[in-house]
Every structure is written in structure tokens, then in C-alpha cells.
A and B are shown apart, each in its own frame.
Chain A
Amino acid sequence: MKLLFSILLLGIFQLSFGNDISFVVYHSKGSVVKTFSQVNLKKGDPLFLKDAISLGTGSSLILICSNYKIIQLSKKGNYTIKSLMGQCDKNPASYSSSYFKYVWDELTHPHDKPEMNPEAYMKNIGAVSRGCNESAIGIKADTINYCSGSLPVFWWSSYKNSYAVVYEQLLDGAPVKKLLLIKEKPVQLHELFKALVPGEYYWQIAGDEGSGCERNYLKIWDKPSYNKAIKLLLKEVPVSSAAETAYARAFLLEENHFLAEALQYYQQAAQLNPSNIIYKKSLAKFYETNF
């Protein structure tokens, strides 16, 4: 009877652990196989704690943890699922430690009252927002046409940690590129967009948990098409003085969302005629930090 009971317990134990899905494959590219079965992994495949995977050269894999965190693997090699589990939650906490942390936080939070310290209680905003209220960028960049060139963009966010993130989709999906941002330093979009293959993308400023704001449209062009499009646009600009021509080109390029080129021409116009306030103001927009 004791033996039967032990076997039963062991069975339940195995079953419960055996069915514990650790990851789900979100995206797989190249040669990504389960080490034991040598089965190629595809979108939606579950991975268990006992599994191990192998990534070939140039392959990549995006996994979703049970707590919805994303793990991206792109380095060739063998990985056990057990070793990847630690990346799922950066702050693992047991029930007991979580409970006592809660008690401690509650016990020690200040005895403030809104009337005494209003500054600390001004999170309720009595106004409707137009545009994203979690983050903002200094230039209007709903759409960016990009191929190459420097494009620093000043930003603001309410997130603790901020990232510039590129996605393939307008909604949801895993990031294809993520750049940690440094407060009060512009996001170097050319760094973010570097190595992206030509195509359509979406990008935004996001926090650790993502962002509730609309993503901006990004088109990465190949060099010949990009040059052709710019040439076609600039053909329309009438040639006058060098500074005026540069400004007109910059304006037209900005209106058509070729921002990196527009910035170059604005700089050129301001250099050629430093006394022109309109040129200065137009260039200053790109370096605006109060927004």
C-alpha cells in the first residue's frame, strides 16, 4: 500500500513538472532545433524545463516566458531551458519574501497627507491629452523615411527606464531592435536604425513594460531608391540663393519625412546665412528639449 502510494505521489509529481511549460516559441529563424529530438522549432512550439535547444550560425530565436517576458537568442550554441529561466524574471521573489517586502513597504511608507505635501500627490491630471502622454519626442516624426545619416532626436518619457524600440508590426510583436536611452541625451536614431534591412517598421519610446502609445512609422530604404526619391523631390525646388535653396530643400524634405536629409539642409541654410532667424528656428526644432 505504501509503495503504491509512493508511486502515485511520484507520478503526480512528475506529471505536474512534466506539464509545466516554460516557454513558447514566438519567432524562429534559421537552424534552431531541440537537442534531443533534433526537431526544428517553429512558432507556437512549447518548451519544457527538461528541454535543450541548439542554434546554428546566423539563426535567431524569440521565446515568450510564462510571465510574458521576451527572451531573444541570436548567438550560436547550445542552451538548456533551465538556464534560460533566470532571464524570465529579473526580480525573482518567493511568496514569503514578497509578503514581508509588502509588509515592510507598507510599514515604512511615509505618513504623508495630500494637504501637507501636495507636490507628492499631484499625479491626477484634470485634462484630456492629445498625443501620447507617456513619452514625447522633439520633432514631428510620425513617419520617418530613412536610409543613412545622422539623426539625433531629443525625447522625454515618464518611464523609469526608457528604450527606443523598433518593431515589425504596428501592434504587438516582439521588438526587432531595442536601444537603452540615457536621460537628457538624444536618441541617436541612426544607431537604432543601423543594420535594419530595407522595409517597413514601427518604432517608439517605451518603458520596461512597453508603451501604450501609438508606434511611429519607419521606412528603411535601400540606397538607390532613396537617392532617386530625394533627387525627384529636390528637382521641384527652384534655385535661388544658396541659403534659400538649402532651406527650401530642407523644408520639402521634412514635409516628406526625409528627416536626416532635412536636418543636413537646415544646418547648411543656417551656416550660409547665420543672421536669418527663420533658418535658426527651423534648425533649433531638431534640438528642442522643452516639450
Chain B
Amino acid sequence: MIKYLFKRDTILASIMVFIVMGLLALIPINTHVLDPIKMALQDFDYNDLAYSQFNKNSHTSVDTNIVIVNIGAAGRNEIAGMIKKAAAENPRVVGVDILFNAPKDSATDAELEDLFYTNPKIVMAYNLVADKGIISTPGFLVEKSRQKGYANFVGEEGGSIRHFSPILKKETTVYNSFAAAVTQVAYPQQFKQMLKRDKKTEQVNYTRTADQFIVIDGLNFLENGDTGISLVDKVVLLGYISPDPNSIEDKHFTPFNKKSVGKTVPDMEGIFIHANIITMIRDADYVKKSPVWINWLIASLLCWFHMSLFIRYFIDKHLWFHLVAKIAQLVSAVLFVYLGLLFYYKWDIKINLTPSFVAIILAVDVLYFYEAISAWLHKRFGVYSIFIHSHH
């Protein structure tokens, strides 16, 4: 392998791999149209395995700063009562993760309107609809509420929720996400810190499953008051948690889902995803992404080493070339996934190894192409090449 590492042809063939990758990226069509594996894995991220298979963050302690009030089957009247009661206990903020789509009962609607309008500690969730660049915010209480945030996550429709958009700027209007709006009220410093990052999207750092949050029953809280849990100085979130594990109401796919690929049922309620995002912003515990130049540097180095190995077998032991190439690709894939997951599991660092994978996979085919070009250049211009002078 070392024998060919610093040969001009090894370096040029490696460069050619990246040229081919660039050319493929220029094709404005999705070539995976008839590839069932690619289509099945469209919404797959290797890092999900860190949660679903290797129980990342399973030892994180219960978050005692967030209390989730399960509204269950409560109607608007009871929900208004819960908000009022929670707000009276002097929490940092009360986040209401419920969409009130249309007016229903004038007395209760007026009460809700009054709560959202007068109390700056109550944050209302709403649905943000983005259609061809035009943003609308349906819901009859949205305009009237003082603190509000969109409850939308970022991801394929019905796909796994890995990202959220902290804020959305449209001309002069700034829309806060629900988690950002809650944090703005509860932890203004951390909110500013998040704004400074100036990221269009943030990856959700799932530090806790549903069991690692405190949940109280809303109707019990409303009727009996004393749930044994103080809400003073807490982030109180009102949302829906179904008692039926098979219910899909406000449930989403997350990396915690034990089945990463294929047909399965959603695993986490929206309120817990918001809670994870709030925790992440509060603790400034963001997922760190490796810079693009590092990803490409890793890809270049790995491609170069592999190319050197492939050329060695291509020229010196051609009989074994394909077998060695396939084994090398397989071993590399296993090793890279392991290393990528390790960084994510231990240090929340996400390294994009896709360029490395693609480069190594393309290297074998490009090698044949490069050999043909070398032969032509040699014949035409007499250019020296190891492929011409070492006969395999």
C-alpha cells in the first residue's frame, strides 16, 4: 500500500474520484428513483442508532425543572382552568402546546383569549403554514396572544424529527418556535445565546425519553390542586399524552424509535420533543456538527489511502483486486459507522461521513476509468503512468 501511496497516479486518481463526485452532484435529477434501498433509507440517519440501539443518554437524570401537565381528554373549559391554576403557582413560564383551531364556546374562548393576551408568562403554540414562501398562522387566538411560538418541527412529512428551526425570519417578521418562545420567557440569557448561533436549523439533542420528565395529570391537578409537585420557578408545559400506547395523536417518529427503518408506529408525543428542545437550549447542549472542510479532508485522506491499496492490488495482484476492494469497502464502512457513532454517542459531535463513503465506493470504478485515460494519454502524448509500465 505504502509503495503506491505517493505515486502521481494515486493522487491523480483520488482527485478524479472527487471530480466524478462533483459531476454526479451536478446532475439535476434524483437518480435513486428505482433504488428501493435508497428510497427506504431516505429518512434514515446512522446517528439514530446511538439512541435506538445503544441507549444514548439512557442514564440522564429526570429533568426536575420541567413539569408536563397532561391535559388528557380535557375540553377548553378545563384547559383554561389548568392554565390559570398553573400560572397562579408562579412558574417561570406556562407553555400551552395545544392548537385552538376555531372558536367554540364564547365564554371559554374569551377566558382563553384573556389569559393569552394579559399574562406575559403564558406561551401559546400555533401552526405555521408555509406555502410557496407565504407564511400564514391559522388559529383564531394566534393574533390575540402575547407570547407565542410555532409548534412545527423540521423533517420529512411523517418522518423522524431530528431538527427544528429556532426562529423563522420573513421580511420584517420574526416567528419564534414554541420551544424558543418558552425559553425566551423562562431563560432569556440562553435564548440570546441561541440567537447568537444564528442557525437556520438546529439538530434536536434528545437527552431524555418521556420517562425522564415529570408528568402530572391535568384533571387531577385541576380538581385536587395538590399533586405533590411544586410548580414554583418551573417550566410548565401543557400538552397531550395518550394513555393508549398505540394512539398516534400528536405522536412523532424520533431517533428513539427502536425500528429505525421500515414501517413502524410513532414513538414520542410532541410535548416531549419540545421539552427536549427547551432542555437543549437551556443547557446550551447543542449537537456539534463537524465543519464541512473537516468532512472533506477526512474523505480526501481516506480516499487516498484506499486508492493506494486498490492500485497495489490492481497492478501487483490483480486476481485478488475485486475481492480485496470489496472487503476493504465493507471493513471501512463498519469502522466509519462505529467511529461516527462513537463521536455522537460520547461527545454529541456529528461527523458527516457521506463524502468518505461515496469516495471509497466510487474509487474502484474511477480507477478503471483513470487507467483507460492514462493509456490514451500515454499513446497520444507519451505520458508516463504506472498502469502502462507495470503490466498486470
B interface residues, Cβ below 8 angstroms from A: 28-31, 33-34, 71, 75-76, 79, 97-106, 109, 125, 127-130, 133, 137-140, 142-143, 150-159, 161-163, 165, 168, 178, 200-201, 239-240, 249-250, 252, 270-271, 273-274
**What distance in Å separates the Cβ of A276 from its nearest Cβ neighbour in chain B?**
18
Pick the contact of B99: A118, A133, A156, A290 (CB < 8 A): A133
Q: Which chain B residue lies CB-closest to A128?
A: B240
Interface centre among B105, B129, B249 (most CB of A within 10 A): B129
A120 vs B132: C-alpha distance when bound (angstroms): 8
Residues on the B chain within 8 Å of A103, using CB: 33-34
Interface residue A97 (Cβ < 8 Å from any Cβ of B): no
Interface residue A121 (Cβ < 8 Å from any Cβ of B): yes
Q: Which chain B residue lies CB-closest to A156?
A: B138
Residues on the B chain within 8 Å of A290, using CB: 137, 140, 142-143
Interface residue A288 (Cβ < 8 Å from any Cβ of B): yes
Contact between A139 and B154 (Cβ–Cβ < 8 Å)?
A: no
Pick the contact of A140: B75, B106, B163 (CB < 8 A): B106
Residues on the B chain within 8 Å of A121, using CB: 154-157
Pick the contact of A127: B29, B105, B239 (CB < 8 A): B239
A interface residues, Cβ below 8 angstroms from B: 103, 106-109, 111, 114-116, 118-133, 136-140, 142, 156, 158, 255, 288, 290-291
Contact between B129 and A158 (Cβ–Cβ < 8 Å)?
A: yes
**What distance in Å separates the Cβ of A216 from its nearest Cβ neighbour in chain B?**
10
A108-B29, A137-B102, A142-B104 given; A125·B151 CB < 8 A: yes
Sorted from nearest, which 3 A-B pairs have the closest CB atoms?
A126-B270, A291-B140, A128-B240
Contact between B270 and A122 (Cβ–Cβ < 8 Å)?
A: no
Contact between B101 and A114 (Cβ–Cβ < 8 Å)?
A: no
**What distance in Å separates the Cβ of A139 from its nearest Cβ neighbour in chain B?**
7
A156 vs B99: C-alpha distance when bound (angstroms): 15
Q: Which chain B residue lies CB-closest to A132?
A: B101
10 contacts between A and B (CB under 8 A): A107-B30, A109-B30, A114-B201, A115-B200, A118-B165, A119-B133, A121-B155, A126-B125, A127-B125, A131-B100
Given A119-B133, A125-B99, 11 new contacts (CB under 8 A): A106-B30, A118-B168, A124-B252, A126-B273, A130-B79, A131-B99, A131-B104, A132-B102, A136-B102, A137-B102, A290-B137
A103-B33, A140-B106 given; A127·B270 CB < 8 A: yes
A131 vs B102: C-alpha distance when bound (angstroms): 6
Contact between B99 and A122 (Cβ–Cβ < 8 Å)?
A: no
**What distance in Å separates the Cβ of B146 from its nearest Cβ neighbour in chain A?**
15
Contact between A291 and B252 (Cβ–Cβ < 8 Å)?
A: no
